[in-house]
Amino acid sequence: MNNEILLANLRNIPDFPHKGIQFKDVSTLFKNPECLAILVDELYEMYKDKGITKVVGIESRGFIVGAALAYKLGAGFVMCRKPGKLPADTRKASYMKEYGADTIEIHADAISPEDIVLLHDDLLATGGSMSAALRLVESFSPKKTMINFIIELTIEGLNGRALFKDDTEITTLLKI
Ligand code: AMP
């Protein structure tokens, strides 16, 4: 039922930002009070007993639900950002995109070995950006890491999960 409400409110933009891409526009979920509540409440129910101390959101659509969830879990929120945006010392990781490489950064004091970390983003496509974020987070040797996406794209040719080790705990709310 909840998934039907989310799917009915998710906007698809054909050929954005390039021809052939079906862009899943989560802004239509975020602007709808019922959908925003479903997203945060469902994730809270999934993760409330996991002892999570930090939620790491990936810029920028991972910040919205990530921060709301962190608040509800009583956890801290950490931003994984595009290069040059974070003001203090950072750690960096690079990954391959459709056209060339990209880099993401996290503050060098963002995570401690005592943390139990949930990484969150809106959508799993190739998995490149999240696997780079996971490498960054794991460089702090936290007690445990888990990963969540709102949407997992399973259309032909995309198998983002294949980039992660088999024992990586990944959840997704919607498979499209
Ligand atoms: P990837 O690193 O290939 O898994 O791409 C995931 C990131 O790119 C996420 O932050 C998404 O917001 C964005 N993204 C990739 N493909 C799409 C798509 N078809 N619709 C919406 N966002 C996408």
Name which of 21, 14, 7, 46 is nearest 158 in CA terms: 21
Protein residue whose Cα sits closest to atom 3 of ligand 1:
126
Nearest-angstrom CA–CA distance, 78 and 81: 10
Name which of 161, 49, 60, 34 is nearest 120 in CA terms: 60
Distance 121 CA to ligand 1 centre (A): 9
Distance 51 CA to ligand 1 centre (A): 28
Distance 47 CA to ligand 1 centre (A): 23
pTM assigned to the model:
0.97
Instruction: Sort strands 100-107 and 116-124 into parallel, antiparallel or unpaired.
Output: unpaired
| Active-site amino acid positions | 61, 98
pLDDT of res. 128? 95
Of the pLDDT bands very low, low, confident and very high (cuts 50, 70, 90), residue 1 is confident
pLDDT of res. 97? 83
Higher pLDDT, 155 or 173: 173
Nearest-angstrom CA–CA distance, 62 and 130: 11
Query: What are the tens digits of pLDDT across the range 16-57?
Result: 999 988 999 999 999 999 999 999 999 999 999 999 999 999
Query: What are the tens digits of pLDDT across the range 86-135?
Result: 999 999 999 988 778 999 999 999 999 999 999 999 999 999 999 999 99
- What residues line ligand 1, using a CB cutoff of 6 Å? 21-24, 58, 61, 121-130, 153, 160
Torsion angle of the four alpha carbons 162, 167, 173, 176, in this order, in degrees rounded to the nearest 10: 20
